[in-house]
Amino acid sequence: MDDTYILQALAMFFFSLWKTYIGPLMAAGLGFSYWEMLTYNLGAAVISTLGVLGTNDWFLARRKTKVKGFDKNLRRILRFWRRYGKWGAALLSPVLFGIPTYAFVARRLKDKRRDILMEISVVTFIWCSVLYWLGLQGIIIAETNSLLYLS
């Protein structure tokens, strides 16, 4: 392993801590294998989720004041949650809301930690696989078009 590989892997890992769409596309463009891409991106999503869940539980256990109830932001989130369901929110979280945001909201709505981690893992696996495949297809199309223009 050389320094550029490590820097590329770390960049992919850090981009995937919040949202998942950049990491698989980077992996496809940089020539990472499917399993390398999955390791770095899914690992980042799981670590991010575990960090948010641990921090959230730690903070709520030490909180001295009572929770005020519902504010306007939580009402908006609840409206989305009721309209599309838990799996709808989970499906959109890796590319739209952010993985830590989903973990925080789901935990605030009294979801189990195990369920949140499982949902994020499954949905991130699906998004990573689809985006990596699309990235590879885009590279193949770009190479084919460039060969046509050069001929």
For residue 24, give its domain range. Answer: 3-150
User: Which strand (E) or helix (H) includes residue 46?
Assistant: helix 34-62
pLDDT at 115 > cutoff 90: yes
Q: Is the pLDDT of residue 30 over 70?
A: yes
**What SS3 class is residue 1?**
coil
pTM, entire model: 0.82
Q: Are 11 and 22 in contact (CB under 8 A)?
A: no
Q: Model confidence over 34-58: pLDDT tens digits?
A: 999 999 999 999 999 999 999 988 8
Q: How far, in whole angstroms, is CA 87 from its chain's centroid?
A: 14
Residue 133: how many other CB atoms lie within 10 Å: 13
Number of domains forming the structure of the chain? 1
Q: Is the pLDDT of residue 87 over 90?
A: no
